[in-house]
Structure 1
């Protein structure tokens, strides 16, 4: 089959492209901006990439067109596909029909849903299963350092060298599927094991309020079989409301007063408890309580497919996180520069708190922020920004192309906060303010104009 993918350079659609190519299909694709690292990964897999969405791409003669949710009506290639009556499908539906549940293949899908931490938690879970020899397939919205790729098909389990693993671990996004399918992506996956990591308001561009997102999460709950398992954060009232609307599946809680819990904390990790009984001590370098909760969720989900807690704990001790999750990009002039994907106020607060716990009260944190997501651009979360950055010593905000005034929003931080409409003045201001021993924490869900290297160059050139 020849598959042509519209919007191929996003992490999700790029992952689908790699899975399709590995399954033996001819794969081509296009995007408005063909850019690395995804473009490099795809070209290395033998996938032809085309810049733009011109209607002339119909001459490629694809059998089916897989449509990313960045594509809307009015897109010239999409209009040509529709006018010609050619077959098209969304990315999540194609994945479900051709990878997860294809003919006689009915994968044991482990889906990780939640407002925050999906990519890290999905990567943790895939790594635990791989460490245990189960050779799972996976699709992650990032690049897990343990694998170096964002997607792969199931392999041969260690216990069955000639077989094919039934397990597929997927990051289950609540964002809408496509312009012609406004359901959340995760309703297509039909998981047997589902992690509900957390749930709060986000994606203000497509959801009116938190209740609307809770409805989509309940659609996911409805798709989990009675012999499956739901692993739910015990601290989230929103998830309690979702499950109270109807649940036909056993539920294990984590992070609350029962089920999987964080025990005694140590400098290098923490004790894992299940109903108050120690399952072992997890030693790892990851920062923040949010990652401890992520770990509990993955241990519960992995145990559901037969991985003992002690094996999961050993695996997590060798987990190397995901690119752009508190990733150290370098040190110059005695200043360390980090890159993190945080863009929602809750994620920003959690990330800053994690770094503060690591470096202590004596070190300065210089937060460099780009409010780039659709929700942040709309200004829906702007009033929460000062509180989320309260633990940072200085804040430098890039406010270009926002529909609201970042200086006004960050005014409660006083002189600690500065805003910029251009990148170069921001870089120079950070370099001028930074002192040896400072931690520069860059937070954005985009490339941020290569600001990380610009900062390192400026710091080195002082």
Structure 2
């Protein structure tokens, strides 16, 4: 089969491309601003990439066009389509489908799917679960919205392991909509036998009017889990309790709360795991923060459903090396550590900084550098939560380009500790003027952030390197 992917450089669609290529299909694709590292990864797999969405690409005559959710029927000011290829596909009646639909029909069918859903921690927990299964010898396939350091790739097909009825496939289950022609959440296509509900709060204000709308989508996911399946749910989340209350037809295992099936006892970086109040394993690792402890419990409970003993899962997590862009240390100059993190929602920012504070202690200053880049943050829906999110930061620097709301006003409760700038160069200069040896700088964005990490390290080296 020849598939041509529209929006191929997105993390999810790039993963679909890699899986299709590994399965032996011919894969081509297009995107606007074809960019590394995804473009380099795809070309290394022998996938031809085309810049833009020109209508002439119909001449490739693939068996099917696979359409990413970046594609829409939007038009420019002059009335022309922003995606002329999609218009040509529709005009000529050519076959097309969405990425999640193609994945469900061509990769996930016949597999035991373990899907990890939630507002936060999907990528990390999916990576943890895939690593636990790998260490248990179960050779899982996976599709992750990032690059797990233990695997070095974001997607692979996996294989049928001895003793398993079906090959295992671990997937990051996103609640964002599927495509312009399919407004259901992506995850309803995956039909998991094991579903992890990691947490749930309001996000994606561009497509969801309120939290209740997202809860309905999560319940649609539960409707697809068989009676022999397992739902792993965070016992600390009221929103997930409401989702389960709408109806659940599968075994439920909870984690996190004092009365949950799976709980933790100890520090976030070294803790016993208890199942029904009995110690079943211990995790000692380099990760920090309560959020990662909860992620670990979710992965352990999900892995148990496919036969991995909690003690085995705990041992594997002790060797887990995390995911790129999850508190990834990019470099150190004069004792100043520069971290890169994907946090882009107030709660994610808060948990990231809380975890870093636990790691570095009270004596180290934390400089938080962030950009409100997600659609929800650009709309200003959660701007009032930013002072709360940045509580553990000694100084906060906000990149304001593209915002229609006043970031300086939103950060006023921080006083002189909150600074804003409309361009990256000014942000770098603000940080450089304030930083001291021994500080920790964490840059938070769900995009490339204009390469600010490298710019900061270069500027720090110029200032603090002798000679």
TM interval, shorter chain, is over 0.9
1:155 to partner: Cα distance: 2.2
Q: Match for residue 373 of structure 1? A: 374
When the two chains are superposed, the root-mean-square deviation of aligned CA atoms in Å is 1.1
Give the Å deviation of 1:156: 4.8
Q: Name the residue aligned to 2:91.
A: 83
Secondary structure of the structure 1 residue equivalent to 2:369: strand
**Is contact 2:371-2:398 (8 Å) kept?**
yes
For the residues of structure 2 that align with 1:84 and 1:25, how far apart are their CA atoms? 24
Equivalent in the alignment of 2:341? 340
Aligned partner of residue 30 in structure 1, secondary structure = strand
Residue 260 of structure 1: aligned partner: 262
2:142 to 138, 142, 145: 138
Number of the residue aligned with 1:226: 227
The within-5 A match list for 1:126-275 is: 126-157=130-161, 159=162, 166-256=167-257, 257-265=259-267, 268-275=269-276
Q: What TM-score does the superposition give when structure 1 sets the normalisation length?
A: 0.97
- Is 1:54 the counterpart of 2:54 in the alignment? yes
Alignment correspondent of 2:42: 42
CA distance in 2, matches of 1:24, 1:55: 26
Kindly indicate whether the alpha-carbon contact (under 8 Å) linking 1:154 and 1:165 is maintained by their aligned counterparts in 2. Answer: no
- Superimposed CA distance per residue, residues 364-404 of structure 1 (whole angstroms, 9 cap, x where no aligned partner): 00000110000000000000001100110000000011010
Q: 1:193 & 1:3 partners in 2: Cα distance?
A: 29
Whether the 8 Å CA contact 2:160–2:168 is kept in 1: the answer is no
Offset at 1:37? 1.0
Out of 116, 121, 127, the residue aligned to residue 120 of structure 2 is 116
Candidates 77, 97, 106, aligned match of 1:98: 106
- Tell me the SS of whatever aligns to 1:154: coil
Q: What is the TM-score of this pair, normalised by structure 2? A: 0.96
SS in 2 for 1:419: strand
In the TM superposition, residue 95 of structure 1 has moved relative to its aligned partner by 0.2
Structure 1 residue runs without a partner (length 5+): none
- State the alpha-carbon separation in 1 of the partners of residues 90 and 410 from structure 2: 44
Gaps of 5+ in 2: 74-80
**Counterparts of 2:17 and 2:406 in 1: how far apart (Å)?**
39
Distance 1:217 1:134 in 2: 28
CA distance in 2, matches of 1:258, 1:173: 25
Alpha-carbon offset, residue 339 of structure 1: 0.2
Work out whether residues 136 and 165 of structure 1, in 8 Å CA contact, stay in contact via their aligned partners in 2: no
Q: Distance in 2 between matches of 1:143 and 1:254?
A: 26
Larger mean Cα displacement after TM superposition, 147-156 or 203-212: 147-156
**d(CA) in 1 for partners of 2:160 and 2:245?**
39
Higher mean C-alpha deviation, range 118-127 or range 428-437: 428-437
Deviation by residue 1:191-222 (Cα, 9 ceiling, x = unmatched): 00000000000000000000000000000011
SS of residue paired to 2:171: strand
1:285 counterpart residue number: 286
CA distance in 1, matches of 2:322, 2:364: 24
How far the C-alpha of 1:7 sits from its partner, in A, is 0.3
Greater shift, 53-62 or 201-210, is seen at 53-62
- Count residues in correspondence: 454
Secondary structure at 1:461 match in 2: helix
1:25 aligns with 2:33: no
Report the Cα distance in structure 2 between the residues aligned to 1:154 and 1:425, rounded to whole angstroms. Answer: 46
Deviation of 1:428 after TM superposition, in Å, equals 1.2
